[in-house]
């Protein structure tokens, strides 16, 4: 195995830092995704005499077959074929959604591989940027097609899914699996994320309250848009500060769990990279392009799927998209909760919610501003109310630093009620667009 890894290690020069330093570049998202990975058997590949062919086959085996979700990769060519040959558009939507599931996990894997070469700080920044690449790409394509309501619904759904579904399932399963143990986690990291989520909530509520308190929608539309753009800039500044806080000034708050489990093979199973730096860049660009293609399919066929399945666009965007698109990351969070590693589970759920709230949402507002599209932070009364209740409930749930299954069950039941609310909501897309 060492002989196979040697050319990769030399592909872009020597690695930076020791193994321990490189592990510091890992985030909760990476450790969560690692639970779905499997070791590749390179016995046959090592017998290939041609060096370039051996490198290619090794990369294919590590990247494509190195995950338990590899069975979903055939959905990608099927989605492309369905689009090219004019199959039913709901089928294109479903296949594209399935194809995005393993891609999201593989992007996390590749960014971690690149982080081995760039060092912990740059690697952590890369992970923080690519952590929710799927949601960001879907949102940008929806903006390009002027489907502002789909952007808002999908991003809101990602936040609700992380706060209630992922965190709730993790706390519930962890509590059931560890009934005889007291489950604890580092409150400091949870407090930081809760504080930032409350800031994001304020930036969402003020445009809504501003429009409600105005004399008429026509008089408040422009000021609401201006307030949203100013708030988005504030949120982006807060996110940049959060990244500096996480990667530089207070790195120890976010590495405590990993350091304490330094000898745990589940968390630190990979001491050295398995693909080279240039190979990682090529794979990252290629997979991002495939994610972009499938995202375009999803955005273009979501209305047809809504009509065919009898489900509202709001339900599909808020409930189905986040569940399927982030299934790999969510499964990893639950697996670590079973192992009583709640700091990793909380890092996945709260970290994703914070990133979407303070980075993806305001970035979409700024991008739409540049494209001449009017997107504000007013997510309407029902949607903003659900967001507010979710954030406040999560903050109360995590305030004492301990966990049990009842806390998780409560969060799950909140998610079920919110899902039922949007399931019975049959607001037409045109009406939703007028309200937004």
Q: 352-410: per-residue pLDDT in tens?
A: 899 999 999 999 999 999 989 989 999 889 999 999 999 999 999 998 888 888 999 99
pLDDT-wise least confident of 57-61, 88-92, 176-180: 57-61
- Torsion sign (Cα): 193, 194, 195, 199: positive
Three-state SS at 273 = coil
Q: Identify the burial level of 262 via C-beta atoms within 10 angstroms of its C-beta, where 0-12 means exposed, 13-18 middle and 19 or more buried.
A: exposed
Q: What is the pLDDT of residues 148-178, one digit of tens each?
A: 988 999 999 999 999 999 999 999 998 898 8
Predicted confidence band of residue 306 (pLDDT cuts 50, 70, 90): confident
Nearest-angstrom CA–CA distance, 39 and 251? 30
What residues contact residue 231 under an 8 Å CB cut-off, 6+ apart? 203, 206, 207, 362, 377
Cite the DSSP H helix spans in 70-88. Answer: 75-84
Average pLDDT across the chain, whole number: 79
Q: If we measure between CA atoms, which residue out of 361, 419, 415 comes closest to residue 201?
A: 361
214: left (phi over 0), alpha (psi -120 to 50) or beta: beta
What residues contact residue 2 under an 8 Å CB cut-off, 6+ apart? none
Report the predicted TM-score, pTM, of the whole model to 2 decimal places: 0.82
Is 241's pLDDT higher than 70?
yes
Q: If we measure between CA atoms, which residue out of 108, 144, 94 comes closest to residue 301?
A: 94
Nearest-angstrom CA–CA distance, 325 and 101? 5
DSSP letters for 242-253: HHHIIIIITHHH
Is 15's pLDDT higher than 80?
no
Percentage of the chain lying above the pLDDT 70 cut:
77
In the numeric block, which tokens belong to residue 92?
């294109």
Choose between 264 and 416: higher pLDDT: 416
Is 33's pLDDT higher than 60?
no
Predicted confidence band of residue 197 (pLDDT cuts 50, 70, 90): very high
Residue 17's pLDDT is 42
Q: What is the mean pLDDT of residues 31-47?
A: 60
Predicted confidence band of residue 24 (pLDDT cuts 50, 70, 90): very low
Nearest-angstrom CA–CA distance, 191 and 214? 35
Give the CA distances from residue 266 to residues 2, 30, 34, in Å, rounded to whole numbers and listed in that order. Answer: 21, 12, 8
């Amino acid at each position: 195995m060492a002989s196979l890894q040697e050319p990769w290690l030399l592909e872009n020069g020597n690695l930076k830092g020791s193994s321990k330093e490189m592990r510091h570049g890992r985030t909760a998202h990476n450790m969560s995704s690692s639970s779905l990975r499997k070791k590749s058997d390179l016995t046959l590949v090592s017998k290939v005499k041609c060096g370039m062919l051996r490198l290619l086959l090794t990369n294919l085996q590590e990247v494509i077959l190195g995950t338990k979700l590899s069975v979903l990769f055939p959905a990608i060519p099927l989605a492309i074929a369905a689009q090219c040959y004019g199959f039913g558009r709901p089928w294109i939507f479903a296949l594209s959604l399935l194809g995005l599931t393993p891609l999201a996990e593989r992007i996390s894997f590749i960014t971690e591989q690149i982080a081995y070469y760039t060092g912990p700080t740059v690697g952590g920044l890369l992970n923080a940027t690519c952590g929710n690449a799927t949601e960001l790409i879907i949102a940008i394509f929806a903006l390009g097609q002027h489907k502002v309501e789909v952007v808002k619904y999908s991003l809101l759904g990602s936040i609700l899914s992380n706060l209630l579904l992922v965190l709730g399932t993790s706390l519930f399963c962890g509590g059931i699996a560890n009934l005889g143990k007291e489950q604890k986690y580092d409150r400091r990291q949870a407090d930081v994320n809760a504080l930032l989520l409350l800031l994001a909530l304020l930036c969402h509520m003020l445009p809504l309250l501003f429009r409600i308190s105005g004399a008429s929608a026509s008089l408040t539309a422009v000021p609401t848009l201006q307030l949203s753009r100013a708030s988005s800039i504030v949120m982006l500044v807060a996110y940049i500060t959060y990244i500096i806080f996480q990667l530089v000034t207070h790195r120890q708050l976010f590495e405590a769990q990993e350091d304490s489990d330094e000898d745990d093979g589940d968390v630190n199973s990979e001491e050295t990279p398995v693909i080279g730096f240039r190979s990682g860049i090529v794979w990252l660009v290629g997979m991002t392009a495939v994610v972009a293609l499938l995202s375009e399919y999803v955005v273009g066929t979501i209305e047809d799927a809504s009509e065919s399945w009898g489900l509202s666009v709001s339900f599909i965007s808020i409930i189905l998209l986040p569940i399927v698109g982030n299934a790999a990351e969510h499964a990893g969070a639950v697996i670590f909760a079973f192992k009583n590693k709640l700091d990793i589970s909380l890092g996945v759920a709260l970290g994703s919610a914070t990133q979407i709230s303070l980075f993806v949402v305001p970035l979409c507002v700024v991008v739409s501003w540049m494209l001449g599209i009017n997107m504000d932070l007013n997510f309407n009364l029902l949607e903003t109310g659900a967001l507010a209740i979710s954030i406040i409930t999560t903050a109360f749930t995590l305030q004492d630093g301990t966990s049990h299954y009842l806390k998780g069950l409560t969060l799950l039941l909140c998610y079920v009620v919110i899902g039922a609310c949007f399931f019975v909501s049959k607001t037409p897309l045109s009406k939703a667009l007028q309200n937004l």
